[in-house]
Amino acid sequence: MRDFGKRGFSTQSTQWQLSAYAKVNLGLWVAPRDNRGYHPVWSVMQSISMADVIRVTPSSHYHVEMNVPLEQRQFVPSLANNLITRAYHGLKDQYPEIPTVKIQVNKHIPIGSGLGGGSADAAAILRWAQMVINKKIDPKFAANLGVDVPFLISGGTAQATGYGEDLKYLHPLRGWYVVLVSPNFGLSTRHVYNAFDTLPNSSHLSIESMQDVIRRLELGSSPISLFNALEPAAWKVEPKLKNLKADLRSVSRKPWFLTGSGATYFTLLRSYEESLALQKDLVNRKMDNVAGIDIAEFVGPF
């Protein structure tokens, strides 16, 4: 069991420590592929206190180290082609004054969870670079790394449209907690989107209903449902995920929502005490295929 509190951004003369915050999607609408082969999206995104911890230290040559829980190591992308490396080298090409560094990542965000772990790490590097060079990074550069990256640079609460770079920041939501249930398997975002393409008559959600969700949260009332267009596709890629949701609904009366392309489900609560009680109850149930049951809080902007 883990409880993620707020972590700050700290610097020393010889190293920087960064927090790479995860996110949840408070609803997610996905359009068909466009002529470039991309899916435009519309979502309300919220940063949460679960975070990877990144240490950046000056070095004679660039390299990155990933400290990942043993059970997740099979899902780690090639270090030569992960989002951190792509972000750093892309920035270094544009801004040679960025120092050569060693990057150490302590992973707390599950891989393949829909919580934006890889994007959060890349966004933390962009946030660090902005501080080092005292310049704002082009949102299009961030969006080219991943649809979640532009939002995760600043976090908070925002409507994201298009390909991630079109952000409308909302009044930050405060006093909300999430209980996150992550299975012992991850999902490939690419595989889920490919499965989405095969589904007939993909559902749509109007912007107005998403506004209703935000109003309910601002008033302190939990929404009954949060639409996620990718959930049926995620079930198609991994049927055990549908079974997990059924198990969660059978042991808790709370509504459970899929974040991103999966595979983590979450529910919304108003107090830490209520979150802790639900976490303990779920742990005691010993559900099949569950790797982690965590508590996090809404945070941001940073």
Express each pLDDT in 262-277 by its tens digit.
999 999 999 999 999 9
pTM of the prediction? 0.92
Question: What is the model's pLDDT at position 7?
Answer: 44
Q: What is the pLDDT of residues 215-249, one digit of tens each?
A: 888 888 888 889 999 999 999 999 999 999 999 99
Domain boundaries, the chain: 2-297
The residues that are catalytic are 23, 148
Which SS3 state, helix, strand or coil, does residue 280 take? helix
Q: Which residues, at least 6 apart from 268, have a Cβ–Cβ distance to it below 8 Å? A: 176, 177, 178, 217, 222, 223, 254, 257
Does residue 262 contact residue 230 with C-beta atoms inside 8 Å? yes
What are the pLDDT digits (tens) for 150-189?
999 999 999 998 988 899 999 999 999 999 999 999 999 9
Which runs of consecutive H residues, i.e. helices, occur in the chain? Answer: 83-94, 117-133, 139-145, 149-154, 189-198, 207-218, 231-237, 240-251, 272-285
Which pLDDT value is given to residue 10? 62
C-alpha span between 155 and 124 (Å, rounded):
11
- 109 three-state secondary structure: coil
Measured from the Cβ of residue 220, the count of other Cβ atoms closer than 10 Å reads: 11
Give the residue among 238, 239, 230, 274 at the shortest CA–CA distance from 254.
274
| Residue whose C-alpha is closest to residue 152's, from 120, 127, 112, 110 | 120
**21 CA to centre of own chain:** 8
For 49, the enclosing helix (H) or strand (E) is strand 41-58
Going by the DSSP 8-state scheme, the letter that residue 26 receives in this structure is E
Contact 279, 296 (CB under 8 A): no
CA distance 274 to 158: 26
For residue 213, what pLDDT is reported?
A: 85
Distance between CA atoms of residues 100 and 89, nearest Å: 10
The dihedral formed by the CA atoms of 271, 277, 278 and 281, expressed in degrees to the nearest 10: 180
For the chain, give the mean pLDDT.
91
Q: Each residue of 125-155: pLDDT tens digit? A: 999 999 999 999 998 999 999 999 999 999 9
Say which CATH topology domain 2-297 has.
Answer: Ribosomal Protein S5; domain 2 (3.30.230)
Distance between CA 151 and CA 208 in Å, rounded?
21
Residue linked to tokens 């999966």: 262
